[in-house]
Amino acid sequence: MTWTRREIFLGGLASLGASVAGQSALAQASSYFDGNAIDNGVAFRRTNFARIDPRWRRQVVKYFSSEPIGTVVVDTRHHFLYLIMENKTAIRYGVGVGREGFKWFGRATIDRKSLWPRWTPPPEMRKRHPELPEFVAGGSAKNPLGPRALYLHRDGVDTGYRFHGTLEPGSIGKDASSGCIRMFNEDAIDLYQRCPIGTAVQVLPHIADQAGNAAQTSQPIPVE
């Protein structure tokens, strides 16, 4: 087959365009990070919160619920996790939730917590993605669980779902996971410190008006 000069030229432009697009996507992903932080002797990329929509940042909000103080409630529709506090308030975290076909709802408890957890892809995930490794060591830059994991059990049985950090801060506020609840790494560390073993969890499609306008971000109280 003989290529004309025009075909070679157009092919070169296409390759250049693909290369530029790839570099642009990589630069956009990198913009979600701002330097490094050290946690328990492990370095991880710090989230660039200047790049994050304010609604997804950790903050104290009004929250009306009959659930006991200390309960964690997840509103999957609006992509928020609430840790119920006293005086009709809650700490609200932006989260990423299961994509279509992977959502789940119901009650659970945090029966296990892990600092810099090892990630073992479940068998059904490895069937869908046979290229995945058998496991990724805790603290690895390729570990999707990040610095913390809180394991959700029901009636003493592991549900397979977790609250955990993420390698993709841009996925917070989206339906992006295989069912687990993703958090900014800094938020996963914060929630880990606040939730003891036995913490009650409720995952809902949405929470109606328990927190008023779920998208409201006026006058938030940041949580340090």
Lowest mean pLDDT among 10-14, 65-69, 104-108, 119-123: 10-14
Q: What is the pTM of this model?
A: 0.80
Determine which one of 78, 79, 164, 195 is catalytic.
164
Write the pLDDT tens digit of every residue in 166-220: 999 999 999 999 889 999 999 999 999 999 999 999 999 887 656 654 434 334 4
Among this protein's residues, is 180 annotated catalytic? yes
Determine which one of 78, 79, 180, 195 is catalytic.
180
Burial of 60 (0-12, 13-18, 19+ CB in 10 A): middle
pLDDT computed for residue 192 by the predictor: 98
The domain segmentation of the chain, as residue ranges, is: 5-30, 57-213
Give the model's confidence band at 16: pLDDT under 50 very low, under 70 low, under 90 confident, else very high: very low
| 57-213 fold | L,D-transpeptidase catalytic domain-like (2.40.440)
Write the pLDDT tens digit of every residue in 34-56: 999 999 999 999 999 999 999 99
Write the pLDDT tens digit of every residue in 89-104: 999 999 999 888 788 8
Give the model's confidence band at 122: pLDDT under 50 very low, under 70 low, under 90 confident, else very high: confident
Among this protein's residues, is 79 annotated catalytic? no
Question: E-assigned strands of the chain?
Answer: 33-39, 42-47, 59-62, 72-75, 80-85, 89-98, 106-115, 148-154, 157-164, 175-177, 181-183, 200-204, 221-222
